[in-house]
């Protein structure tokens, strides 16, 4: 009985209001995830990086809240490990932002190779 109540609590969340930024407490209320867990997830998932105000307050966007909900679903409902959830998020959403320079380098090399082939013809 207790597990069913926990599962129902995890599945339900508030609709995301239409505004630009949300403080961590608002995100916690909307997603049903405690603030300390949100801060931990920021350290584990490179796709979750809210902006910070001048005073250090975390400012989440709608996209960040959707990412939190995705992480929550993977970890709590589908029972992924942290490592498995990271891999799933990266495979669903492309490469991590930190891989961007490497991706651009590979793309440039591929385009240069293609240009060389076209010049030969």
Let me know how many helices (H) and strands (E) the chain has, helices first: 6, 2
Pairing mode of beta strands 51-52, 58-59: antiparallel
Per DSSP, the residues of 38-54 read HHHHHHH-TT---EE-T
pLDDT digits (tens, 9 = 90+) for 17-61: 889 999 999 999 999 999 999 999 999 998 899 999 999 999 999
pTM of the shown model:
0.66
Q: Please report the pLDDT score of residue 99 as a whole number.
A: 62
**Which CATH number does the domain 2-95 belong to among 3.40.50.720, 1.10.1660.10, 3.30.160.270, 3.90.180.10?**
1.10.1660.10
Q: Where are the alpha helices (DSSP H) in 49-99?
A: 62-72, 82-93
Query: What pLDDT, in 10s, does the model give residues 6-19?
Result: 444 445 577 888 89
Q: Is the distance from CB of 69 to CB of 29 less than 8 angstroms?
A: no
**pLDDT, tens digit, 9 for 90 and up, residues 48-104:** 999 999 999 999 999 999 999 999 999 999 999 999 999 898 887 644 555 667 778
Domain ranges of the chain: 2-95
d(CA 85, CA 3) in angstroms, rounded, equals 22
């Amino acid at each position: 009985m207790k597990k069913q109540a926990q599962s129902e609590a995890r599945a339900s969340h508030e609709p995301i209001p239409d505004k630009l930024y949300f403080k961590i407490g608002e995100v916690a209320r909307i997603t049903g995830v405690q603030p300390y867990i949100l801060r931990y997830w920021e350290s584990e998932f490179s796709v979750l990086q809210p902006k910070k105000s001048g005073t250090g307050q975390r400012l989440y966007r709608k996209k960040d809240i959707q990412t939190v909900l995705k992480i929550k679903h993977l970890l709590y409902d589908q029972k992924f490990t942290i490592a498995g959830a990271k891999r799933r998020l990266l495979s669903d959403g492309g490469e991590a932002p930190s891989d961007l320079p490497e991706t651009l380098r590979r793309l440039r090399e591929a385009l240069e190779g293609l240009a060389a082939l076209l010049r030969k013809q």
